[in-house]
Amino acid sequence: MAEPEVQLPNEPKVTTPAEPEVQTAALDPVLTPEDTAVLEALSEPALPAPLSDADIEAKYAADGIWARAPQVPPAPAGVVNLENLYLTSIDPVSTATDAVALPPVVAFETDKVLSSIASPAAAGTRFVLDDNGLVMPTVAGALSPDGFTVYLGRPPLVPPATLARATAAAEDAGIEQNVLAEFRPQPRPAGLLERAERVRLGGLSKSELAAFRPALRPQSVQERAEQAAAAALNTDDAVNEALATAADPFVTATQLAITSSYRPGGRPQGFAQIVQRALRTAPAPETRVASAAAIAPRTVTPQIPSRASVAKAATTNNAINLRQINLIGVYGKPSNRRALVRLSNGRYKKVVLGDRIDGGVVSAIGEAELRYTKRGRDLVLKMPR
């Protein structure tokens, strides 16, 4: 309830402005049937109406888009699914996963089953024990603390007595010893040392090797010369002996054989004096060497008329670069060619296939060129024109 306004005396009258009217929405508004229909229409999306064949063809003619999904062709009959694909192999047949080939389960039960453990005796049970601490057996059977029964007397089934075979075993041992006593080792084979020597010395014994003697040393040159000189002194005796023992040489003579031959001329008189005179007049070896060294070689230049034009035509200036390697000439057969090369230092060298030159290896020699490989590169030297 609004309080009444109190106006004091001598105070101006104050007018309070009116508050604006504010509309507030209710938390639970009341919807009309029209609002409910609108909300239901908005909550459910409207599906487009299905197009007819004529509408689809008209749309395809306008924008080139076919409104229906393409039909999926049926799968061919011969296609095999990857899950059903099986590739043949040559792996060995293994029976590890074959249930038929596996042994039965009973075969794996090789361990013995443990006996059942007896229940302990009831509390307060007393056992009759002897001086050794064992249960005293009875005919009816006495229960032991371990759970088994002890009977007094022999069991109904007794193993047979062991046969006494000590005497038979001793007799057999005596027979075996007598049989072994009859054996004697074989004597050592004869000639064992000789056979060992033959194996070690290549099939010969020491006595056989001692019988060999080295061949005599051949005669030296001096001994042969002495024998030849001694034989020359006895030439007359040898000739007479040969003539005496020789057959008649004219037995097999032909019709063209001569009856006598001319006697050769005798040695000239004074031959020894001529040799001595030549030795005296011959110069000394030092003189011959000095005279030969004193003669200087002479260069002979042929006098051939030449013109300036001919010499100029026969001369080519700057044909080769003297600072580089140049091919001077090629000679030899095609199967075995050789080349003459001038090096950059002015020296000449003859090379064949496989020789090293300028840090490379000669690989081919042609009629007018030479090829060599250097650092993986193929270089060519050609004859100057």
DSSP labels, 138-180: BSS-EE-TTS-EEBSS--SS-PPPPP--HHHHHHHHHHHHHHH
Instruction: Identify the residue whose tokens are 């090293």.
Output: 356
Q: Is the distance from CB of 324 to CB of 341 less than 8 angstroms?
A: no
288: pLDDT strictly greater than 60: no
Q: How many CA atoms lie within 13 A of 354 on its CB side?
A: 1
Q: Is the distance from CB of 372 to CB of 384 less than 8 angstroms?
A: no
Q: What distance in Å separates the CA atoms of residue 212 and residue 206, rounded to the nearest whole number? A: 10
Q: What distance in Å separates the CA atoms of residue 385 and residue 331, rounded to the nearest whole number? A: 17
DSSP symbol at 95: -
Of 25 and 245, more confident:
245
As a whole-number percent, the residues of the chain with pLDDT over 70 amount to: 66
Q: Is the distance from CB of 354 to CB of 370 less than 8 angstroms?
A: no
For residues 144-156, average pLDDT: 85
Instruction: Identify the residue whose tokens are 């003459």.
Output: 340
Encoding tokens for residue 7?
Answer: 């106006």
Residue 87: partners with Cβ closer than 8 Å, 6 or more residues away: none
Encoding tokens for residue 183?
Answer: 């054996």
Of 238 and 144, more confident:
144
Low-confidence winner among 6-10, 256-260, 377-381 (lowest mean pLDDT): 6-10
What is the chain's percent helix, strand, coil content, to nearest 5?
30, 10, 60
For residues 33-58, average pLDDT: 74
Give start and end residues of each alpha helix (H) in the chain: 33-43, 53-63, 166-181, 192-200, 206-211, 221-233, 235-245, 271-281, 285-294, 308-314
What pLDDT score was predicted for residue 293?
44
* φ/ψ bin of 289: left (φ > 0), alpha (ψ from -120 to 50), beta (otherwise): alpha
Q: How far are the Cα atoms of 66, 153, 198, 202 from residue 207, in angstroms, in the given order?
A: 121, 90, 11, 13
Please, which pLDDT band fits residue 18 given cuts at 50, 70 and 90? Answer: low
46: pLDDT strictly greater than 90: no
What pLDDT score was predicted for residue 307?
62
pLDDT digits (tens, 9 = 90+) for 165-175: 656 555 666 66
- Under DSSP, is residue 365 helix (H, G, I), strand (E, B) or coil? strand
The CB-based long-range contact list for 314-321 (8 Å cut-off, 24+ gap) reads 316/384, 316/385, 319/384, 319/385, 320/384
374: pLDDT strictly greater than 50: yes
As a CATH number, domain 322-382 is: 2.30.30.830
Q: What distance in Å separates the CA atoms of residue 184 and residue 355, rounded to the nearest whole number? A: 81
- Under DSSP, is residue 286 helix (H, G, I), strand (E, B) or coil? helix
Residue 151: partners with Cβ closer than 8 Å, 6 or more residues away: 137, 138, 139, 141
Please, which pLDDT band fits residue 373 given cuts at 50, 70 and 90? Answer: very high
Q: What distance in Å separates the CA atoms of residue 149 and residue 143, rounded to the nearest whole number? A: 5
362: pLDDT strictly greater than 80: yes
What pLDDT score was predicted for residue 371?
92
Please, which pLDDT band fits residue 350 given cuts at 50, 70 and 90? Answer: very high
Of 182 and 356, more confident:
356
**Sign of the dihedral through C-alpha 199, 204, 210, 216:** negative
pLDDT digits (tens, 9 = 90+) for 65-111: 888 887 877 777 666 677 766 666 676 666 666 666 677 778 777 77
What pLDDT score was predicted for residue 289?
46
* Beta strands 377-382; 369-374: pairing state: antiparallel
Q: Is the distance from CB of 371 to CB of 362 less than 8 angstroms?
A: yes
Structural Rg of the chain based on CA atoms? 71
339: pLDDT strictly greater than 90: yes
Q: What distance in Å separates the CA atoms of residue 368 and residue 334, rounded to the nearest whole number? A: 12
Instruction: Identify which of 44-58, 258-272, 326-340 has the greatest average pLDDT.
Output: 326-340
pTM of the model: 0.23
- Under DSSP, is residue 60 helix (H, G, I), strand (E, B) or coil? helix
Please, which pLDDT band fits residue 372 given cuts at 50, 70 and 90? Answer: very high
Please, which pLDDT band fits residue 313 given cuts at 50, 70 and 90? Answer: low
What pLDDT score was predicted for residue 341?
92
For residues 107-130, average pLDDT: 78
Please, which pLDDT band fits residue 291 given cuts at 50, 70 and 90? Answer: very low
**Sign of the dihedral through C-alpha 325, 331, 334, 336:** negative
Q: Helix and strand tally (H, E) in the chain?
A: 10, 9
31: pLDDT strictly greater than 70: no
342: pLDDT strictly greater than 80: yes
What pLDDT score was predicted for residue 6?
43
3: pLDDT strictly greater than 50: no
Please, which pLDDT band fits residue 214 given cuts at 50, 70 and 90? Answer: confident
